[in-house]
Structure 1
């Protein structure tokens, strides 16, 4: 080991052990050279490496100071089999690549960091967003694209702002995205639900609701529904669009898992819309990480001004650093390479999950999609909560679907299943243990 590397490891250990805590000043270069019996240039080489690791920073004519003593967390080795968590596998993300984009973004857009942005978002990111959206068969103009602080912000703005149809009631699939359900409850929004199952929705019921309830918009996840994992057929999407046009209802299409589509012929509902009925939402929380807080909203022309007005009063603009870093991540080709890798990774997990469900639960309704999440519908005699509690004691985590319903809507006994954080080899073991537990008659009422 070279001398400067030895010094680097020594100082790094002192920082990580909090012998040199955050904000502490390091000894001077002269003192360090005397301490380690080496030249000043050797000390400078060690300090430069510490700076590159973001462990220290320099103040001209003052010295070097510790940024933070904490080290990056490494994935813990655990026997836990977590079917409850829906976050992406965080340690699989290429942080070093994205760090390049963050650092470059700060260098490139440093003057913009001291200005308020625009309600629509960073123009250069919007240009890259337009190119990316075309890969999802979403063709639009830059003027129709808004950068939002995740899909959740877009949903809240759409729910609060007035629409040209002058209707106020929101229609949501049941079950649906739990955080949006929480929003609707918290703000006491007028909302009605329509049951969605492995067989889709009842189109006759949809027409009746559109005809009688003065629906502002229908919030739907046509592709890889959360939490069911099911998708609408082309015929179903066309029928929904036809009814929306007939009854002057808008469609809010949440396409949060577009990056994991394995059927190249399956397009979003937006691609079929010829009457500016569909508002398309795209998130990066599953393909990258939720902390990025960036989403895209593609709006019809008649909604642009009012959406922009409401967004300005919320946050003026989404995080400039996140936007700039994402723009570079997209433009450099890093995202496309990462997406291909993650797509294959989760597709394999989805296949294992499907095989396990067909092997052990073929008698119960479940999604047939190859997706990172699915569900099982159990008979009402099954004590689902006892099963969940029992399996948690064996370090196998599941969740019911209760939080995904609006108040007073009939709740079926549905178990949510997500494999985004589970090692491939553990998926079969967990589903097999679930089947074994279900066969215990104590789990029935």
Structure 2
């Protein structure tokens, strides 16, 4: 082992064991040179390696300091089967690849980081986003694309901004995305719901609501709906668009799981929108990670100016570092390669989930779509909350459906099942335990 490597590992060990904690100053180069009986250039070589790995930083005319003494997190081994968590498996993400993009982004866009961002997002990211959207069969001009701080910001802005129709009431599927339901409960925005099941929605009811109520837009997840895991067929999408045109209602299409749809012939509602009534939203929270806080919004021409004004007052622009790093991640081909790997991994989990439901819960109404999240409909005699508490004692975690509904809307007895964070070998065992509990309800609840 070379001398500088011995010094490097010695200092690294002190940092990782906490002898040198975050903010601590390292001994001077002269002191280290005496301690290790070597030249100053050897010490500098060891220090540069620690600096390049972000363990220390240099302060001109002062010395070297520790950035952080904590070790990187490692995945915990656990016998818990977590069907409740919907975030992706963090340890599966190629952090080293994305770290390259972050470091390169900081070098490339140094000046931009010290200015407020552009109104619609980093122009180079908008160009890459346009190419990415085309792979989802979303063809649009760059001027119609906005970079937002996640899909939540898009939903917030669309909910508060005026539309050309001057209508105010929002229509949402029930159940639906829980954070958007929380938004309605918090801000008391006018909203009504329409029931969605594994069989879809009642189109006659949809037309009645469109024709008789003051509907500004209809928020829907046509593909792999959250929390049901179901998708609309082409005819349903065509009918929904036709009704939207007939009654001048906009559609907000949340396509957050576009990367995981196995049906290559399933296009978004946006694809066949000839009258600019569909607003398309895309998130990176599932395919990458929620902390990125980047979303895409594709807007009809009539909404661009209003959306822009409201976005400027909300946050001026999304994180420039995140935008620049994502642009490089897309442009370099890293995203495409990772997309393929993670899609295959989640598809495997989704297949195991669907096969397990079919095998152990054949008598329960459920989604038949291959998706990382699904559901079963429970009979009336089952107390859902007690079932969830009973299974928790067996280290099987499930989430209630309460937050996926608006206040006052009838709640189906739905048991949500999400395998985003469940290892392959645990899925069947977890479904088997659920089936056992449901087959002996008198013993538990």
**Deviation for aligned residue 1:60:** 2.3
Give the equivalent residue in structure 2 for 1:438: 438
Q: How big is each residue's C-alpha offset from its partner over 1:424-444, in whole Å with a ceiling of 9 and x where there is no partner? A: 001001110111111223267
Taking the aligned partners of 2:200 and 2:212, their CA distance within structure 1 comes to 21
**Deviation for aligned residue 1:13:** 2.0
Q: How big is each residue's C-alpha offset from its partner over 1:363-393, in whole Å with a ceiling of 9 and x where there is no partner? A: 1111111111001110111122112111111
Taking the aligned partners of 1:57 and 1:308, their CA distance within structure 2 comes to 40
Taking the aligned partners of 1:124 and 1:94, their CA distance within structure 2 comes to 23
1:278 paired with 2:259, answer no
Give the equivalent residue in structure 2 for 1:390: 390
Q: TM-score scaled by structure 2?
A: 0.98
Question: Secondary structure of the equivalent of 2:321?
Answer: helix
**Deviation for aligned residue 1:324:** 0.5
Question: Secondary structure of the equivalent of 2:124?
Answer: helix
Q: How big is each residue's C-alpha offset from its partner over 1:304-348, in whole Å with a ceiling of 9 and x where there is no partner? A: 000000000000000001000000000000000000000100001
Give the equivalent residue in structure 1 for 2:119: 119
Give the equivalent residue in structure 2 for 1:291: 291
Question: Secondary structure of the equivalent of 1:25?
Answer: coil
The correspondence of residues 89-128 of structure 1 with structure 2, limited to 5 A, is 89-128=89-128
Question: Secondary structure of the equivalent of 2:192?
Answer: strand
Give the equivalent residue in structure 1 for 2:198: 198
The correspondence of residues 64-143 of structure 1 with structure 2, limited to 5 A, is 64-143=64-143
The correspondence of residues 39-54 of structure 1 with structure 2, limited to 5 A, is 39-54=39-54
Give the equivalent residue in structure 1 for 2:265: 265
Contact 1:360 1:432 in 2 (8 A): yes
Give the equivalent residue in structure 1 for 2:244: 244
Give the equivalent residue in structure 2 for 1:37: 37
Give the equivalent residue in structure 2 for 1:347: 347
Contact 1:396 1:430 in 2 (8 A): yes
**Deviation for aligned residue 1:18:** 2.4
Give the equivalent residue in structure 2 for 1:211: 211
Aligned length: 445
Query: Gaps spanning 5+ residues in structure 2: where?
Result: none
Taking the aligned partners of 2:265 and 2:434, their CA distance within structure 1 comes to 35
The correspondence of residues 110-189 of structure 1 with structure 2, limited to 5 A, is 110-189=110-189
Give the equivalent residue in structure 1 for 2:6: 6
CA RMSD of superposed structures (Å): 1.1
Taking the aligned partners of 1:46 and 1:82, their CA distance within structure 2 comes to 43
1:19 paired with 2:28, answer no
Give the equivalent residue in structure 1 for 2:378: 378
Q: 4+ runs of 1 displaced by more than 3 Å?
A: none
Q: How big is each residue's C-alpha offset from its partner over 1:138-189, in whole Å with a ceiling of 9 and x where there is no partner? A: 0000000000000000000000001011110000000000000001111100
Taking the aligned partners of 1:216 and 1:52, their CA distance within structure 2 comes to 53
Taking the aligned partners of 1:161 and 1:386, their CA distance within structure 2 comes to 42
Taking the aligned partners of 1:442 and 1:14, their CA distance within structure 2 comes to 58
Q: TM-score scaled by structure 1?
A: 0.98
Taking the aligned partners of 2:47 and 2:91, their CA distance within structure 1 comes to 28
Give the equivalent residue in structure 2 for 1:416: 416
Taking the aligned partners of 1:119 and 1:381, their CA distance within structure 2 comes to 54
Taking the aligned partners of 2:393 and 2:2, their CA distance within structure 1 comes to 50
**Deviation for aligned residue 1:22:** 1.6
**Deviation for aligned residue 1:20:** 1.4
